[in-house]
Structure 1
Amino acid sequence: MIILLNTNDLTLTDVVDIDTLSNVQSKLADLVGISVVTADANGNPVGRFNNFSPFCQLIRSSKIGAKKCIECDAQAEQKAFATGKPTISDCHLGLKDCCVPIIVNNKLLGGVLGGQVLVDDQENPKSKFDIPKLAKELDLEESELAVAIDNLAVVEPEYLQDCVDFYEVLANYFTEMGIKSLFQQQLLKETQEKLDYERRLKYAELKTVEAQINPHFLFNTLNSISRVAMSENAPLTEEMIYNLSDLIRYNLKQTEEFPLLKNEIKNIRRYLSIQKVRYGDRLNYQIDLPNHLEDFCIPYMILQPIVENAIIHGIEPLAKGGSVYISVSRNEEDISILVKDTGVGFKKQQALKILEGKDGSSDGIGFLNSHLRLRDYFGENYGLQILNDETFSTVIKIFFPAFTDYNHYKNKVII
């Protein structure tokens, strides 16, 4: 389930630009020659009527007829939303109508509707209309109504499926627009929260690291979401956006300088899960955090830059991809985290230059910050180490004292 903004009062016009909607709808409808209208969750049209039959235009020109059409469209949307599938049903005048729901954040925002045809499943299907009665009921001229009925299309059942296929393309596109709009609103909101939070930060190094939510990663993830949204109907997209939203929320709202290992690892799982969607079979990962170590603390944002480095500089350049392994262990009074990858490999000389602050490139900023912050907190015996391993291209060891309360640890060291 996608969890972004509060969508209780969300409407279609809040997340979809109506001019864009109308233009896209018109161009595609004219291209395929199928009638279509996009309506809000109450059945009210929000865009243009494209390729509507003279009969439906005439019926909607009547105040009573328009009201019944809107009620009918709203019922079709609710039915499609309840079943989670496109629907083909009879309108209030017996024409076949199709509806594909527009659903964002598990909320019905509207639907793409059309059809407005009779099906060639009985002899003379137009004969069922009682023209004098219908004209009187809707306050229309009998002669106009008779001409409109005579011009109604009578189609084979397969035509309706073609309509549904077309409406699904439009509905998926509008749903994608809605998801992007929601995400942008959420990003703006949380960015503002981050700015407010940074004003209260006392630790300059934390500011630097927290600002490194990699834009390269964010925009590639958004592209992945767009692709999945077009080809996948909900589950994978929902999980991906859910993980990304939680990851950003955790990074922006984290106020603990020394969160629990289980919370940091959980956030790393979210990050890797998102990257797994992006890279597919090119990325595999495994995390081993023993239960008895979950409640030990770790300095905030020490681990994520190392994992990002393993993927961006290790796995990504390889066409075949690779794997990342993260394991946590305790040796007497210390915690060790090993981050291993089977990527292109890290030249030890280059790694040593980064740890010494002599590399000069921007690629190792997060790596160096993690190393220096560990040494600032715990002394020169702690930090990052580059290890040799025949099985893996790169092995980074993150090394720091084992403690469940930093103040208690600090007082113990002073004593």
Structure 2
Amino acid sequence: MSEIKKISDMIDMNLLQSIQDNCSKAMGIGAVTVDYKGNPITRYSGFTEHCMKVREVQGFSELCAQCDAHGGLHSAITGQPYIYRCHANLVDFAVPLIINGTYMGAVLGGQVKVCEEEAEQLEYILPQQSNWRKHEQISRLYDKMDTVSYEKVEAAVHILRDIIVTMTENETGKKMLATLEEKDKQLSEERAARSELELVLREQENDAMGRSAELRYFFYVMNIITRLAYEEKAERTEQVAYDFADVTRYTLGTTKKISTLGEELNYIESLLRIQKVWVGDKLDFHISVPTGYMTIPCPFMLMQPIAETVLDGFGEKSDASFHLEIYGEEEGDYFLLQICCSGGIKSLDEWVHMLSTPKDGSKSLYAINNSLQHVFGTEYGVSVGSRDDRQRGIVIRIRLPLEKRGLF
């Protein structure tokens, strides 16, 4: 019990049980978490009828416990997941639970039949036993089990490993953060005269640590989605998951105020790809800015209010088609980025009004234009006008400081 308490001190056991249950359902495997002695510390998840019955029969249940213990021990020694065959010729695996460099236990899973040709590459964790075949009910339940591919077992192991690593790092970070916050509170009481600047810096530091912990949860869930989409050959879902993760990583994973043109274009391209999956051929876009201009500096999230305004109201229920072309060129001592829209929802007058009218928030068109001029000078900024070819639509022009590096 003391060891279980140590594990629960480091991670949320309810969260561990929930993750174990959900992974078992999603992957079609049995699973249980054990401590370093091999004792279960969670409830069984998705155990097969065959394995539940085997563990009820004296003589066989002891062999199951030995397989669990040996599998966990092997993963502890190597520090890596271990896939093996149990005494009853099923494929199992052990994923080590390592916290702060210490082996605390393992997540054991599997209980699946793999075709003999694929299973031959795996070693038996204990000498193979066939006595269970003489037990009529156990033998019948074994024969009822479906056969799965070894590739599916490997995929399940990889997903569980990534989840466990992320969860332990995140939970440990939360515990450490709580300890730091408690000590910081005591220090604050002792040093009431601390300067306002020090307070601001500490709040920013704590906020960044908290945001990092939350993002880890987000990305491990996105990792599961992309892996499952890959296995199920859902290519569009897989691409949307990757694009959404990139957008989130860029918008929430940084505190910088100055970005680059390349990063901003990658951001808007991901947004447009997600929108195109949703509306299909009604949206067409093309980005053609030479590589040599990608290091040009620009305010962080410069493209966000522009993208929101461009796509506002353009969804699956809209019958209109929409074409967007983004290109850039040198103009004297400046770089001119142009976003040419046809079939847009907003009129030119509406764009001009939004660009010239103050609005609450730092992400309005007015605010982002002021920010660009404040950082680089009044000769830079955002303007909106009619298309040069007199076609329906507008052109958004963004003037940036010219800074080229590398080849075109």
Pairing 1:66–2:68 present = no
Q: Please give the TM-score of this superposition, normalised by the length of structure 1.
A: 0.54
Partner of 1:114: 111
Which amino acid in structure 2 is aligned with residue 287 of structure 1?
I
- CA shift at 1:181, angstroms? 6.0
Aligned residues: 324
Equivalent residues in 2 for 1:283-294 (5 A)? 284-294=284-294
Contact 1:351 1:386 in 2 (8 A): yes
Cα distance in 1 between the residues matched to 2:399 and 2:325: 16
**Given the alignment of the two structures, is residue 48 of structure 1 paired with residue 43 of structure 2, yes or no?**
yes
1:97 correspondence with 2:90: yes
Shift of the 73–116 alpha-carbon distance from structure 1 to 2, 3 Å rule, reads farther
For residues 74 and 301 of structure 1, what CA distance do their matches in structure 2 show?
49
Per-residue deviation, 1:170 = 8.6
Shift of 1:338: 0.9
Please tell me whether the aligned partners of residues 21 and 174 of structure 1 are also in contact (alpha carbons under 8 angstroms): no
**Structure 1 pair 274–37 and aligned structure 2 pair: CA distance change class (3 A):** same
**Superposition deviation, residue 396 in structure 1:** 0.8
Cross-structure match for 2:120: none
Q: Which amino acid aligns with 1:388?
A: S
Per-residue CA distance 1:72-104 (angstroms, 9 max, x = gap)? 4777999xx989xxx8x642x2x231447889x
Preserved CA contact (<8 Å) 2:268 2:307: no
1:272 paired residue number: 269
CA distance in 1, matches of 2:29, 2:220: 32
In the alignment, residue 369 of structure 2 is paired with which amino acid? H
1:185 and 1:309 map into 2 onto residues whose CA distance is 39
Give distance in 1, aligned partners of 2:137 and 2:89.
15
State the one-letter code of the partner of 2:55: C
- Residue 243 of structure 1 corresponds to 246
Q: Do 1:99 and 1:113's aligned partners in 2 also have CA atoms closer than 8 Å?
A: yes
Q: Does 1:347 align with 2:342?
A: no
Which stretch shows the higher mean deviation, 164-173 or 288-297? 164-173
Judge conservation of contact 1:334–1:399 (CA < 8 Å) in 2: yes
Contact 1:388 1:394 in 2 (8 A): yes
Distance in 1 between residues matched to 2:173 and 2:312, nearest whole Å: 23
Give the residue type in structure 2 aligned to 1:232. Answer: Y
Distance 1:322 1:116, change over 3 A: same
1:305 alignment counterpart = 305
Aligned partners of 2:12 and 2:171 also within 8 Å: no
Alignment of 1:67-82 (within 5 A): 67-72=66-71
User: Which residue does 2:368 correspond to in 1?
Assistant: 370
- CA distance, structure 1, for counterparts of residue 199 and residue 265 of structure 2: 22
Tell me the distance in 1 between the aligned counterparts of 2:285 and 2:379.
Answer: 29
SS at match of 2:297: coil
Report percent identity of matched pairs: 11
TM-score normalised by structure 2 residue count:
0.55
Q: Aligned-pair RMSD on alpha carbons?
A: 5.9
In structure 2, the CA distance between the partners of 1:69 and 1:20, relative to structure 1 (3 Å rule), is: closer
Using a 3 Å threshold, how does the CA distance of structure 1 residues 168 and 155 change in structure 2: closer, same or farther? Answer: farther
Match of 1:399 in 2: 399
Which amino acid in structure 1 is aligned with residue 337 of structure 2? I
The DSSP-based 3-state class of the residue aligned with 2:338 is strand
SS at match of 1:385: strand
Using the TM superposition, give the Cα deviation of residue 249 of structure 1 relative to its aligned residue in structure 2, in angstroms: 6.2
| Cα contact 2:335–2:400 (8 A) shared by 1 | yes
The whole-number CA distance in structure 2 between the counterparts of 1:48 and 1:153 is: 25
Q: Are 2:383 and 2:398, in contact at CA under 8 Å, matched by a contact in 1?
A: yes
- By how many angstroms is 1:117 displaced? 12
Point out where structure 1 has 5 or more consecutive residues left out of the alignment: 1-11, 104-108, 120-127, 132-145, 190-195, 201-219, 405-415
Offset at residue 332 of structure 1 (A): 0.8
Which of 372, 376, 387 in structure 1 is aligned with 2:385?
387
Q: Are residue 159 (structure 1) and residue 145 (structure 2) matched?
A: yes
For residues 199 and 394 of structure 2, the distance between their equivalents in structure 1, rounded to whole angstroms, comes to 34
Pick which of 268-277 and 176-185 moved more.
Answer: 176-185
**Judging changes above 3 Å, is the alpha-carbon distance between structure 1 residues 403 and 155 closer, same or farther for their aligned structure 2 residues?**
closer
Cα distance in 1 for residues equivalent to 2:344 and 2:229: 32
| Counterpart contact for 1:39–1:45, Cα < 8 Å | yes
**1:326 corresponding residue in structure 2:** 326
Cα separation, 1, equivalents of 2:274 and 2:371:
32
Task: Using the TM superposition, name which of 175-184 and 239-248 deviates more.
Answer: 175-184
Q: Which has the higher contact order (CA 8 A, sep 6+)?
A: 1
Residue among 30, 33, 36 paired with 1:36: 30
For the residue of structure 1 that corresponds to 2:311, the secondary structure is: helix
CA separation in 1, counterparts of 2:134 and 2:15? 33
Q: Deviations over 1:152-173 (max 9, x none)?
A: 2246867332799998999899
Q: Is the 8 A contact 2:261 2:294 kept in 1?
A: no
Amino acid at match of 2:286: Q
**How far 1:296 moved relative to its partner?**
3.9
Q: Deviations over 1:376-407 (max 9, x none)?
A: 45665542221222556342111244368xxx
Q: Distance in 2 between matches of 1:303 and 1:336?
A: 14
3-state DSSP class of the match of 1:113? strand
1:188-219 C-alpha deviation (Å, 9 max, x unpaired): 99xxxxxx99946xxxxxxxxxxxxxxxxxxx
Query: 1:217: which partner in 2?
Result: none
| Distance in structure 1 (CA, Å) of the matches to 2:34 and 2:275 | 33
2:18 is paired with a residue of what secondary structure? helix
1:274 and 1:198 map into 2 onto residues whose CA distance is 37
Please give the alpha-carbon distance, in whole angstroms, between the structure 2 residues aligned to 1:275 and 1:182: 35
Letter in 2 for 1:36: G
Distance 2:41 2:221 in 1: 28
Distance 1:370 1:169, change over 3 A: same
State the one-letter code of the partner of 2:345: G
